[in-house]
Amino acid sequence: MRKYAIASTKKAFEGTLMFEYDEEGVLLYYQNDSTMTTDQIKFLHQRFPFIEDDLLKISPAIKVEEITDVTFDCFWTKYDKKVNRKRTEILWYKLSIADRQVCLSKINKYKNYCRLNNRLMKDPDTYIRNRSWVDELT
């Protein structure tokens, strides 16, 4: 099975969509953790990706990422600020799988932002609690 998370790259909608496909590329699971306008929902329903190939052909305004490892250990290793593990793990498993994927994909950008702006990284539990991965970092 392959899982994918979709997030808008041009802020067309807020949140993420998650799709899971079987070995033949047929949709098994869909989760919508986003806020969309009526027109955006109609657009999605008209082009709903029941087949994996259709998902991979979606507009360039939407970023499709394959979900790999979204375990807490993966986050803990990648974030690499080892404080408040127990609290952080509880918060991590309260996130949807799609949010975990997006969170993981933004860690390097956040680390670079902190380094370039001479800022300390937030504690990992604060990073998750405040949903800091959705912040626009410049």
Domain locations in the chain? 2-67, 72-134
State pTM to two decimals: 0.59
**Which neighbouring-strand residues pair with 27?**
21
CB contact at 8 A, 20 and 29: yes
Summarised one tens digit per residue, pLDDT across range 81-133 is: 999 999 999 999 999 887 888 898 889 889 999 999 999 999 999 999 999 98
Quick check: 9 pLDDT over 60?
no
**Confidence band, pLDDT 50/70/90 cuts, at residue 72:** very high
